[in-house]
Structure 1
Amino acid sequence: MGNEFKLNVNSDLENLTSIADFITSSTRELGLSEKGVFQLQLAVDEVAANIILHGYTHQTGPIHLTIWKENDKIIIQIQDRGEPFNPLEADEPDLQAPLEERSPGGLGIHFLKTVTDSVHYQFKDGKNILTLIKTLD
């Protein structure tokens, strides 16, 4: 599997900076372009913020991030023990509707799907496991 980077943090908004720094340094070391680094940093920030704000509704808990490279792909796996939630089943936002008619939320998931090559979700052994895959450019 080559280089593998791991970060374990508590689900606290104060840890978003640590997560962003981890994504930036790890993906750079694995050879991702600056544009790709920025895109993944924003995507993972969105996922982590949603875990913190919505996944752990009545308590805090762990967020585990693992990043590695397989051939020409960067893989980021995000695990948490919050409420089960498959972001791939969320409704697509209506990007054509006027702003005042749009319902809040949903753009982060849309962005996540846009900046990665694929996103996979599973709930296994009491854990949400979200896997993001981005091809090196």
Structure 2
Amino acid sequence: MRYQNHLTLPNDVQEVPQLNAFVDEVCETAGLDMSTTMKINLAIEEAVVNVMNYAYPNGKGDVDIDAQINDEHLKFVISDSGTPFDPTVKAEVDTTLSAEQRSIGGLGIHLIRQIMDTINYERVDNKNLLTLSKIITKK
């Protein structure tokens, strides 16, 4: 493990700028270019905002974001103790359909699938754990 960092946020979308700064710092440490950093930031923000919006329907809760970098991967683990939800079982969005023909939702996970190399969901000790990894290419 070359690097690891942790951030805890309340389920409040006002905290997204703090999340973006955290992801930028992690990606910079991993030596990623600006374009890749922006894409990863978008994927992580999408996943975290979904947790903020849906995990705690009855009030406040926290979202934990752990980042790890080794020689091959950049990994983010997003965890919460909210409502169980596995975004990986969501069907692929048919992007060939027009916006009017598509069912609502699913574009966020579609976006995350496009940007990240692996996505894994587990429910452990009453927590949702969503792991998003990106292969780091050496320059």
Note if 1:11 corresponds to 2:11: yes
**Quick one: distance in 2 between partners of 1:32 and 1:130?**
22
Match of 1:98 in 2: 98
Q: Unaligned regions of 5+ residues in structure 2, if any? A: none
Amino acid at match of 1:73: H
Identity %: 28
Match of 2:65 in 1: 65
User: Any conservation in 2 of the 1:79–1:129 contact (CA below 8 Å)?
Assistant: yes
Please list, as runs of the form range in 1=range in 2, the aligned pairs for 1:64-83 lying within 5 A after superposition: 64-83=64-83
What value does the CA root-mean-square deviation take over the aligned residues? 1.0
**Quick one: distance in 2 between partners of 1:95 and 1:2?**
38
Shift of 1:63: 0.7
User: Any conservation in 1 of the 2:113–2:119 contact (CA below 8 Å)?
Assistant: yes
CA offsets 1:4-56 (integer angstroms, 9 cap, x no match)? 11111111111111111100111111212222211110001111111111111
SS where residue 94 of structure 1 aligns?
coil
User: Any conservation in 1 of the 2:88–2:121 contact (CA below 8 Å)?
Assistant: yes
Match of 1:23 in 2: 23
Q: Work out the number of aligned pairs and report it.
A: 137
Match of 1:133 in 2: 133
Amino acid at match of 2:112: L
**Quick one: distance in 2 between partners of 1:30 and 1:41?**
13
**Quick one: distance in 1 between partners of 2:111 and 2:89?**
14
**Quick one: distance in 2 between partners of 1:60 and 1:92?**
30
**Quick one: distance in 1 between partners of 2:108 and 2:11?**
18
User: Any conservation in 2 of the 1:52–1:60 contact (CA below 8 Å)?
Assistant: no
Note if 1:50 corresponds to 2:50: yes
User: Any conservation in 2 of the 1:33–1:136 contact (CA below 8 Å)?
Assistant: no
SS where residue 22 of structure 2 aligns?
helix
Match of 2:40 in 1: 40
In the superposition, the TM-score normalised over structure 2's length comes to 0.94
Q: Unaligned regions of 5+ residues in structure 1, if any? A: none
SS where residue 95 of structure 2 aligns?
coil
